[in-house]
Structure 1
Amino acid sequence: MLQLFFVRHGETEWNVEKRLQGRLNSNLTENGIRDAELLGKRLATIDFEAVYSSPSNRTVETAKLIIDERTLPFKTDERLMEIDLGEWEGRTVDEIQQSEPELYHLYQDNPSQFKGTGETFADVKNRLEAVLAELVEAYPSGNLLIITHGVVIKVLQAIFKTRSLDLVWEPPYIEGTSLTIAKIEDGKRELLLEGDIAHKERKIV
């Protein structure tokens, strides 16, 4: 059995500003750094075969905070990057809603029909399916830690639940450093945990 521990990067400055990041980047906030460290403590007893990360700075930094001083194989894969949102990247949600309300409506309510100047949700699904196939072949069993992005994890949920991309925004919400665990065994895929933030809720302020 292969277990996949999917983690969204920690909170960033643009997350706080409700600014879409996509392939662009902004720095982790103090909360984002602290939450990643707390998740690292939560996962300290899990034996991971390897760590995979999107090459975005915010995911790589989150991964390093989680694994701390552990020596683990560390690999980046561009297919784990956030959805490419083209001209929307760097803009706030309010700005996009005002300038392109119909396209934003599709993004939120009919994701399968969304097509901006970057990727579609189907594009994201296709690259993630390829990653999953390769991971299963490379690791028949064990645990993998995978640090990625919000939309990516929502699409992964749709993949594991074999449901339409139009339901990609169904709860739970994927917060920064939230943990989603999936298993693949004998070709069967199952979600064991979705968007869990127990480590953040117990944090000492």
Structure 2
Amino acid sequence: MSLYLVRHTPVALPKGICYGWLDAPLADDYPRYAQQIISRLSEIKLDKIYSSPSQRCVTLAEEIAQMRALTVEKDERLRELHFGAWEGLSWEAIYERESGRRWFADYWHAQTEEGESHDDLLHRVSSFEAERDRRLETLLVTHAGVIRAYRILLGHLEPDEALAQSVNFGEIYKYE
């Protein structure tokens, strides 16, 4: 069965701000994005919808679910990378910290300050995937980091390859 991954729509934060677990509000153009996503999903049969508990994902997931008379199951393992003390800071300010420079030098293995590493993120996404019922047509409304983790798990990419590929707001990615 198919697995569909959708990244949340843009948020109302200035460009260059770190917001992994920060519950950032949705941008004003959310309705337009949501309608486009719902339209692209309209011909796809779905049995199950999961969402990150971040409001920027839950809002979209619930709107999709409502159109299909489904419920949304929120799962902590679908959250974005936890940036810890860096949440809400600019990337420039993060780089000025020694911990930030250490992370940028080895962003796959190094943990963010009071947060997690990409290794940690991959581990929790792998845990979710191991429990997911693959007999169901499933939609995940989630974040760029989780989608990149899936590219490694299911797309058989190396971490550097997965991290180098863009993950667009509102984009739908499909895996068989």
- TM-score, normalization by structure 1: 0.77
Q: Pick from 21, 24, 41: which aligns with 1:23?
A: 21
For residues 2 and 158 of structure 2, what CA distance do their matches in structure 1 show?
Answer: 23
Structure that is richer in strand per residue? 1
Deviations 1:161-196 (A, max 9, x none): 33332333222x11111111111xxxxxxxxxxxxx
Correspondence 1:65-84 to 2 at 5 A: 65-84=63-82
Deviations 1:76-116 (A, max 9, x none): 1111011111111111112212334523523xxx3323222
Aligned amino acid, residue 156 of structure 1: Y
Root-mean-square deviation (CA, aligned residues, Å) is 1.8
Correspondence 1:48-197 to 2 at 5 A: 48-100=46-98, 102-106=101-105, 110-116=106-112, 117-135=114-132, 138-140=133-135, 142-171=136-165, 173-183=166-176
- Following superposition, the deviation at residue 68 of structure 1 comes to 4.7
Deviations 1:108-165 (A, max 9, x none): xx33232222111111111111111111xx342x411110011111121122233332
Does 36-45 or 65-74 show the bigger shift? 65-74
- Following superposition, the deviation at residue 17 of structure 1 comes to 3.0
Please give the secondary structure, in 1, of the residue aligned with 2:108: helix
Between the two proteins, what is the percent identity of the paired residues?
Answer: 26
Report if the CA contact (8 A) 1:112-1:122 is conserved: yes
- Gaps spanning 5+ residues in structure 2: where? none
**Residue in 1 aligned with 2:11?**
12
Please give the secondary structure, in 1, of the residue aligned with 2:50: strand
- TM-score, normalization by structure 2: 0.89
Aligned amino acid, residue 178 of structure 1: E
Report if the CA contact (8 A) 1:111-1:165 is conserved: no
Report if the CA contact (8 A) 1:111-1:168 is conserved: no
**Residue in 2 aligned with 1:33?**
31
Number of aligned residues: 174
For residues 160 and 110 of structure 2, what CA distance do their matches in structure 1 show?
Answer: 10
